[in-house]
Every structure is written in C-alpha cells, then in structure tokens.
Amino acid sequence: MKLQLEKRPQPSRRWIYLSPLLAVVITMLVGGALFAALGKNPVEAIATIFWEPLFGEFAFYYRPQLLVKGAPLILIAIGLSLGFRAGIWNIGAEGQYIIGALSGAGVALAFYPLDAWFVFPLMALAGALGGWAWGMIPAVLKLRFGTNEILVSLMLVYVAEQLLAAMALGPMKNPDGMGFPGSRNLQDYPAAHNADLITGSGLHWGVVAALVAVIAAYILLGRHMLGYQIRLSGEAPRAARFAGVKPGLLTLFCLGTSGALAGLAGMFEVSGPAGQVSIDFNVGYGFTAIIVAFLGRLHPVGIALAGLLMALTYIGGEIAQGNLGLPAAAIQMFQGMLLFFLLAVDVLTNYRLRLLRRPEAA
C-alpha cells in the first residue's frame, strides 16, 4: 500500500475553510506538547492563552486589548494579502510600519504644543505617506532594475530599525526627558493622541481604519476590475498578460498600498498604545501579519478573524508569562508553528490523498 497525492481539478471548497481550523487544532496539540516539555501543565497553558483573555476573571481588561493588538495586525495583513495574491512579496512591512510611525510622530513633534484639530489627520496622512514611500523603494527598484522585492523590502526593515534608533536617540529625543532615549509621550499631547473613541473600549482610530480596510479590500477583490487583475496575476500570470494586465502598475499598487497601510498602523500605534518613539517601539507586527494573511486565506474577512486570533495568542501569551512563567519565546514559536501547520495542511486543498492498494507498475 502506498499513499499518493492526486491533484484536484479545482481547489476543494471544503478544505479552504477547514484547513485553517485544522491547523489551529494541530498547533494547539503540538504547542501543548511543547508546553508540557517545558514543564507546564499543557491544558492549563492552552486554556490560559485561548480562554482567559476572553472569558477569564479579568476579561473586562483583556477584551479591549484584543482590538488594540488585532488592529495593526489586520491593517498590515490586508495590505500584504493584496500583493501575496498577485505573487508580489512584500515582507518588509515591519520597516514600513516603523517609517509610518516615525513620519506620524515627526509631524506631531513638529507641531508640539499647538492644539489644533488638524494635527491628528495630518499625522495620519504623514504616516501613510511614509509607509507608502518606504514600500515604493522595492517597487520602483523591481520595475526599473528587476531587483527582487523580497530581499530589498526585507533589507529595508533593518535600515528602518537603525533609523528608528537614530531618531529615538537623536532628533526626536524628548528635550525634557532628562537624557533618557525616546521622544515625548504623545499620550500627553491631546491634539496628537490616538485615544480610545469610547473610553476603555480599546476602540481607537486604528481599529476603525482596520475595519475600513477590510471592507475596502473585500469590495476591491470581489467587485472591482483591479481586484480581478490582482487575482488573475497570481493564479495565471500568462493569462493576465493577455488580458491586458500591466504587471508594473500592479507591483506599484500592491507594494504602495501595503506600505501605506503598514505605515498607518505604525502611526496609530505610536500615537496611541505605544505613545512614543523609542528604540524598542516595533514588536514584530509586520512579520506576524504575514502569518495572519496566510491564516486568513488572503481573504479580507478571513484576515479579520485571523488577526483577532493572533491578537488572542499575544494577550494570552502575556498572561501565561505572568501566571505560569511560560517564556515569551514559546509564544513566538507557537505562532511560527501555526503557519507551518497551515502550509502543511493546505496540501489537502489542492490535492487528494489516495491510498494505492497495489504497488504501481514500474
């Protein structure tokens, strides 16, 4: 007997929906085994990560955090998913996120302490433009010179991180900060503060932006010509060219849009939950968003759900760190594992497992 893969004529509808769920279940099982190997009670650890933030004793505090952590992930992942669908790989969202935050904070610090209504919208604009510009670098280089956008966008993450450090220690340092690194805290500057729209709900402008992005992407992909071209380029590049799709324009659009969305996410973060430009401002949302995009099947609604799930693992992971002493790295690995299993399970979407009774004739 022999197991064999047989290509399906079309991707299985059922498995498109089932495989992310199955991947989550397998990750829980293997993750539980991992936690057990670390000497923790696996059931308790998994329950702490997935149950505690939603229905535990302190859920009233954690539930808003779900929006705070989920919004940047969803915002970035929506942008990434457009490119991933078209076969354009922007993996430098972390850098675009940083530059967006720096641009937004730069505007705020330039206007400080002016109290005017236009400061925050201007910051949002600057954040989006900053991220857009950072995303356009790999796009233009790809178009003009044929450089690989994967490598360039990733290199720019490291450049952005150094720039962040330079800014936090240099030009953007708080003049009243008694020499400590980091900028002024924007939470203390009302005109620039991205505060909760309803106090204590976690619902800040970034969450609104994420919601708008999900809806816009849904309409774009399902109802708009450009969305059709994006999908076509990914699924059948040759056919796309015959259909008159301009790959160059598509590259510019996908990398630019994902850059702008990542930049926006960074700006909302620096003016809200984070509050200031500091050396360790970025926490890897740009990379986790890659997992979110795949887990959500590159579909806007799926991404929204996946983003919330990933936010849950962040929050639950923090609780598990505090309560059970689970190392932070274990959660990072847990998230990486999720993508692994998803990719592995995904084979069932495009292929059918067949059990051959007889060895095939040679």
Partner 1 sequence: MDLSSINPILLLASIMAASTPILLAAIGELIVERSGVLNLGVEGMMITGAICGFAIAVGTGSPAIGFIGGAVGGALLSLLFALLTQVALANHVASGLALTLFGLGLSSLLGQGYVGVKPPPTPKLDIPVLGDIPLLGPILFSHDLMVYVALALVAGVWAMLKYSRAGLILRAVGENHDAAHALGYKVVRVRIAAIAFGGACAGLGGAYLSLVRVPQWTEGMTAGIGWIALALVVFASWKAGRVLLGAWLFGGVSVLQLNLQAAGVAIPVEYLSMSPYVITILVLVIMSADKSRAPASLGRIFHASQ
CA gap 247, 241 in Å, rounded: 8
Site residues for partner 1, 259-288, by CB under 8 A, read 287
The end-to-end CA distance of the chain, in Å, is 15
Nearest by Cα to 61 from 288, 318, 280? 318
Q: Which is nearer to partner 1, 190 or 327 (CB)?
A: 327
Minimum CB distance to partner 1, residue 245 (Å) = 21
Q: How far is CA 78 from CA 91, 110, 128, 158, 321, in A?
A: 13, 31, 14, 23, 29
For 7, the 3-state DSSP assignment is strand
User: Using CB under 8 A, which of 26, 125, 165, 215 touches partner 1?
Assistant: 165
CA gap 350, 347 in Å, rounded: 6
Minimum CB distance to partner 1, residue 155 (Å) = 4
Q: Can residue 150 be called a binding residue for partner 1 (CB under 8 A)?
A: yes
Q: Which is nearer to partner 1, 218 or 340 (CB)?
A: 340
Task: Determine the interface stretch with partner 1 among 155-163, 259-267, 301-309, 312-320 (rule: CB under 8 A).
Answer: 155-163
Q: Can residue 143 be called a binding residue for partner 1 (CB under 8 A)?
A: no
Q: Can residue 306 be called a binding residue for partner 1 (CB under 8 A)?
A: no
CB contact at 8 A, 105 and 172: yes
Q: Can residue 254 be called a binding residue for partner 1 (CB under 8 A)?
A: no
User: Using CB under 8 A, which of 219, 243, 333, 353 touches partner 1?
Assistant: 333
Q: How far is CA 194 from CA 145, 178, 273, in A?
A: 40, 25, 8
Query: Taking the CA of residue 179 as centre, how many other CA atoms within 13 Å lie in the half-sphere pointing to its CB?
Result: 0
User: Using CB under 8 A, which of 141, 143, 215, 308 touches partner 1?
Assistant: 141
CA gap 206, 270 in Å, rounded: 11
- Which residue bears the tokens 């993508």? 339
Q: Can residue 107 be called a binding residue for partner 1 (CB under 8 A)?
A: no
User: Using CB under 8 A, which of 22, 47, 133, 155 touches partner 1?
Assistant: 155
User: Using CB under 8 A, which of 21, 344, 353, 354 touches partner 1?
Assistant: 344
* Binding positions for partner 1, rule: CB under 8 A: 5, 7, 89, 91, 141, 145-148, 150-152, 154-159, 162-163, 165-166, 169-170, 287, 290-291, 294, 327-337, 339-340, 343-344, 346-347, 350-351, 360
